[in-house]
Structure 1
Amino acid sequence: MAKDVEAVVVTEQSEYSTKDYHDPPPEPFFDLDELTKWSFYRALIAEFVATLLFLYITVLTVIGYQRQTDLNAGGQDCGGVGILGIAWAFGGMIFILVYCTAGISGGHINPAVTFGLFLARKVSLLRAFFYMVAQCLGAICGVGLVKAFQRSYYNRYGGGANVVAPGHSIGVGLAAEIIGTFVLVYTVFSATDPKRNARDSHVPVLAPLPIGFAVFMVHLATIPITGTGINPARSFGAAVIFGSHKAWHDQWIFWVGPFVGAAIAAFYHQYILRAAAIKALGSFRSNA
């Protein structure tokens, strides 16, 4: 009996170690057929609603933190969530929303993530463009709801807009956004890698969890520098509704930084870790 059990265990381990996997084929660069599918529009709706909810909860948390800080400065002992709580709000909402929408739209909720996946040929140009539009519109509506419900606090405490903090240069802010987005998009690629899923199929790993933790950790590091953008839709939505000169002056940082970081992460994962260039060269030589 013991030998039978041992044989089963060895067989299972062999299956796990040799389990085959197949990378999905690259998405078409430009696919007009997507416009005829309900699944495409359902995905856009999911991205819009998820980004709306993300901005609504997180910006309310930021404003609440700033109000509590103001009360404490005025001599009132008012406990609050602190920077740690803000980081948890952002990371926790990403975990929840990616979990909810991953099966519908892929759970991007971030133009930088969409851009990185487009560069890796995981989504078409058409889908990437409309995803970004839906995300930005969702962000604007989410921050708009915050302003509608908390107008006085919203205007008084900066509307959750991203700006480079005093004492930090533009270069430091840009570098923080590039590195922070690299961490996020690199985590997205790693958590959704089909090779990892095949190899670790016997280990129940939930992809939204490491993605949410990546957002959490990046916020802990960069909130004091830029308020942490790493999501152009988040920064754009807050700037549109709040409309301050400083928020618009620094806006380019929260687009260029995340897009550069996403591009580096896509290149690193696809061509270094997954060695796509070497595989393609080897295939070319074998065919020759």
Structure 2
Amino acid sequence: MLLLILIEGLKNRYNFTPEIKTCVVRRKPTLSVTLIFVFAGSGSGIAYNKLTHDGPSSAPGLISAAIAHGFALFITVSVAANISGGHVNPAVTFGLFVGGTISLVRGILYIIAQLLGSTAACALLFTTGGKSLKGNLFD
């Protein structure tokens, strides 16, 4: 009985329901833009590796990967800025939580969406990369 009173009091004091509802709507774009960012950034490295026939890293290769990551980050943050705040990286989300900009519930939901998006991007890269990735990952 005491536990039920305590839970009811916490529910009345900390009403997470509206925040969870808005986070569910905002979580979908976060998942999508993280997928695009990881796919474009890592895909550029895979494409360069395929073009050079697994050659050593060189200055042009590193610059092209950096430019691809920069453009991918610019586009994804621009797309998601008005919807979910534009933080594509879980480290940025954690920093915003520590700084007090977002709440714990929102931060956890965003980080889950970002991790799911990056996992989906890795699965997509694995399916599109085919045999060029299998030798590097599982040998």
Unpaired stretches in structure 2, ≥5 consecutive residues: 1-13
The SS at the match of 2:113 is helix
1:106 and 2:85 matched: yes
Q: Supply the distance in 2 between the matched residues of 1:126 and 1:72 (Cα, whole angstroms).
A: 45
Q: Deviations along 1:155-195, whole A, 9 cap, x unmatched?
A: 23x4xxxxxxxxxxxxxxxxxxxxxxxxxxxxxxxxxxxxx
Q: 1:168 corresponds to which residue?
A: none
Q: Name the amino acid aligned to 2:62.
A: I
Name the amino acid aligned to 2:33.
A
Does the aligned pair in 1 maintain the 2:27–2:110 contact within 8 Å?
yes
Distance 1:31 1:104, change over 3 A: farther
**Corresponding residue number in structure 2 for 1:64:** 47
| 1:50 corresponds to | 33
Which AA in structure 2 matches 1:102? A
Aligned residue number for residue 127 of structure 1: 106
Structure 1 residues 138 and 71, CA gap change in structure 2 (3 angstroms):
closer
Scaled by the length of structure 1, what TM-score is found? Answer: 0.40
Task: Encode CA deviations 1:47-77: one digit per residue, 9 max, x unaligned.
Answer: 100111111111211111222333657xxxx
1:196 is matched with none
Rounded Cα–Cα distance in structure 1 between residues aligned with 2:47 and 2:15: 44
User: Contact 2:33–2:76 (CA<8 Å) still a contact in 1?
Assistant: yes
CA distance in 1: counterparts of 2:15 and 2:108, whole angstroms: 12
Return the alpha-carbon distance in structure 2 between the equivalents of residues 82 and 129 of structure 1: 35
| Whole-Å separation in 2 of the counterparts to 1:72 and 1:112 | 32
Partner residue in 2 for 1:212: none
Partner of 1:95: 74
Q: Name the CA distance, whole Å, in 2 between partners of 1:72 and 1:63.
A: 12
Larger radius of gyration: 1
Letter in 1 for 2:63: L
Pair 127,151 (structure 1): closer, same or farther in 2 beyond 3 Å: same
Decide whether the 8 Å contact of 2:26 with 2:84 is kept in 1.
yes
Aligned residues: 122
3-state DSSP class of the match of 2:53?
helix
Considering fraction of residues, name the structure with more helix: 2
Residues 114, 150 of structure 1: CA spacing in aligned structure 2 closer, same or farther, 3 A cutoff?
Answer: same
Question: What SS is found at the alignment partner of 1:107?
Answer: coil
Aligned-pair CA distance for 1:31: 5.7
Residues 236-269 of structure 1: CA distance to partner in whole angstroms, max 9, x if unpaired?
Answer: xxxxxx5x6xxxxxxxxxxxxxxxxxxxxxxxxx
C-alpha contact (below 8 Å) 1:48/1:137 kept by paired residues: yes
Amino acid at match of 2:50: R
Question: Contact (CA 8 Å) 1:31, 1:126: kept in 2 or not?
Answer: no
Residue 143 of structure 1: how far off its partner (Å): 1.1
How far apart, CA to CA, are the structure 1 residues paired with 2:96 and 2:86?
12
Question: AA paired with 2:128?
Answer: F
Normalised TM-score (structure 2) = 0.79
Structure 1: which 5+ residue stretches go unaligned? 1-29, 74-80, 159-241, 245-288
How many Å separate the matches in 1 of 2:67 and 2:41?
Answer: 9
> What are the superposed Cα offsets for residues 13-50 of structure 1, whole Å, 9 maximum, x if unpaired?
xxxxxxxxxxxxxxxxx761312x3x321210011001
Whole-Å Cα distance in 2 between the matches of residues 154 and 58 of structure 1? 15
